[in-house]
Amino acid sequence: MPSRVRLTVPSDERSLPIVSAVVAQFGAAVGLTPEVDVALDGATQALVRFVFAQAYPGEVTGEVELVFECEAGAIRVTLQDWGEPIPSFGGAGRPVPAELTEVDLQVDDLRLVNLGSEGKLLTALLPAPAVVAADPTGHAFGVPPASAPATTTATADEIEIRPVADDEVAAVSRLLYSNYGLSYGHPDFYRPDWFAEQLAEGRVLSTVAVFEGEVVGHHALLREEDETAGETGVAVVHSAYRGLGVFGRLFAHTVERAQAQGLDAVFGRAVTVHPFSQRAERAHGYRETALLLGAVPASMAMRGIGDADVEVARRSATLVTYHALGATGPRAVTLPARYADPLRAAYALLGLEVAPVGAFADADDGPEIVARDDRGRATGVLLVRRWRPGAGRRLVHEIREMNRRHEDVVYVDLDLHALDAPALDEALAVLHDRGFFYAGLMPFGPEGHDRLRLQRIQAENVELERIVLDSADAQALHAAVMADRDAVEDD
């Protein structure tokens, strides 16, 4: 039994016979009755024609991806396109368009969901009583796996922890692929040339675990030139070597390298689909300061984490955690009244004191607002460094530019060292009017300054319900984020 069949066709009427042929072969392979086979072909043809007409009117060079998948007593049909926007419909939302009324009577759960920069998904569930759900651990049409999972007899003492060697860069990329497929949130690490260049420039410091010449684990420190905190992550341990304490040793080695670099802090971005990475970071002294909704792309998958693989079908959240590495002194910041309590709580978790800003130096160097896109994640960040006359208008312009670039989530950072209370209040008024709400504290950023981060979700495929948080502090942060989201929506 195939778990699924995937087909991509151009937005051209001549593609329809190809779709019918695939439907027929799929129906024969999974044992559909003639009646269900005809119904599947008719519904699929109608859905494809609808997408052609609405997403690619008059265009024959667009692409539509179709997926046919067995579920218990049904066949799920999914179409994804990257054409013109279409309002969402179906489910508990808007009624389906008139063009799909007949299909809606034949299928269950007909709906269209917008995915932001990832296009749109149109899905339908066609009843097929004789069909059983595909075994997620099986292989298409009974083909066995290419190789059996690896095992090891290594002991912890036999595994070496050290900086990566130049000739091991490609091995790290392959190790990430074996664990995450091509879905890891730092996609550049699949490019050995880019990886090697970053190592040579000192922007990435990689630590590896090696057994008998094979790279079996990796952890990295990622640096930005103007930030006094480095990100730790890109963590992976070969499934055969888990349970030997490899991850903890890699983690500790990375933190030691950060201290040797003279960094004020390190931070991590733990996923919220399972608690493993959260527990690991907390065990090493990291504490929760921000919750970034929708930060992880919907395609991310993790193999062999805990007792089961983890598939992320929707954009999921990132829990940002920081660990201050030394005595940095009181943080001279201005806290806006609306967010003073959660910000003070975050500083307290980090063991940092807050002091008022003595004087504001209105420096002329650099732009007031700095925009940065993370195309691999379809997110964007706007850093507000200064607030001069007309800044509100310029901020709105930059937000619109982010919208034009189809970012799924936009974050805005307000510099707590450089902006005074009136400036913060004015900036917050602009952002609240446009749906931005609290995300948390991002300390030790550009110029060593701390930032208040706000966020706005611009895609519909964002998981807001099933967010797994392992600590009481993380849960309190989540409550503050969601409460402010509700408050901003009600304003």
Q: Rounded to whole angstroms, how far apart are CA atoms 121 and 82?
A: 9
CB neighbourhood size of 457 (10 A):
19
Residue 321 · residue 288 · CB < 8 Å: yes
- The whole-number pLDDT of residue 143 equals 44
- The whole-number pLDDT of residue 491 equals 80
Residue 107 · residue 124 · CB < 8 Å: yes
* pLDDT beyond 90 at 130: no
- The whole-number pLDDT of residue 49 equals 96
Closest CA to 248 of 215, 276, 212: 276
Give the CA angle between residues 9, 10, 13 to the nearest 5°: 100
Tens of pLDDT, residue by residue over 270-322, are 888 878 888 888 988 999 999 999 998 775 444 444 444 444 468 889 999 99
- The whole-number pLDDT of residue 180 equals 73
327: DSSP letter = -
What do you get for the CA distance between the two ends of the chain, in Å? 52
- The whole-number pLDDT of residue 359 equals 65
Tens of pLDDT, residue by residue over 246-261, are 999 999 999 999 999 9
Q: Rounded to whole angstroms, how far apart are CA atoms 412 and 436?
A: 8
Q: Rounded to whole angstroms, how far apart are CA atoms 427 and 394?
A: 11
- The whole-number pLDDT of residue 144 equals 44
Residue type (1 letter), 363: A
* Residue-wise DSSP of 162-187: EEPPGGGHHHHHHHHHHHHTT--S-G
Tens of pLDDT, residue by residue over 410-448, are 999 999 999 999 999 999 999 999 999 999 999 999 888
Give the CA angle between residues 197, 200, 376 to the nearest 5°: 35
Tens of pLDDT, residue by residue over 448-487, are 899 999 999 988 888 898 899 989 999 999 999 999 999 9
Tens of pLDDT, residue by residue over 149-171, are 566 788 889 999 999 999 999 99
149: DSSP letter = P
135: DSSP letter = -
Q: Rounded to whole angstroms, how far apart are CA atoms 439 and 419?
A: 18
Sign of CA dihedral 176, 177, 181, 183: positive
**Per-residue tokens: 306:** 């805990």
Sort residue 134 into left (φ over 0), alpha (ψ -120 to 50) or beta.
Answer: beta
Q: How confident is the model at residue 148 (pLDDT cuts 50, 70, 90)?
A: very low
The domains of the chain, with CATH numbers, are 4-142 (3.30.565.10), 156-324 (3.40.630.30), 360-490 (3.40.630)
Q: How confident is the model at residue 364 (pLDDT cuts 50, 70, 90)?
A: low
257: DSSP letter = H
Query: What mean pLDDT do residues 186-209 have?
Result: 90
**Number of residues in the chain:** 491
Closest CA to 428 of 456, 454, 401, 446: 454
- The whole-number pLDDT of residue 308 equals 44
- The whole-number pLDDT of residue 50 equals 96
Closest CA to 463 of 291, 236, 278: 291
- The whole-number pLDDT of residue 437 equals 98
Q: How confident is the model at residue 147 (pLDDT cuts 50, 70, 90)?
A: very low
Q: Rounded to whole angstroms, how far apart are CA atoms 68 and 76?
A: 6
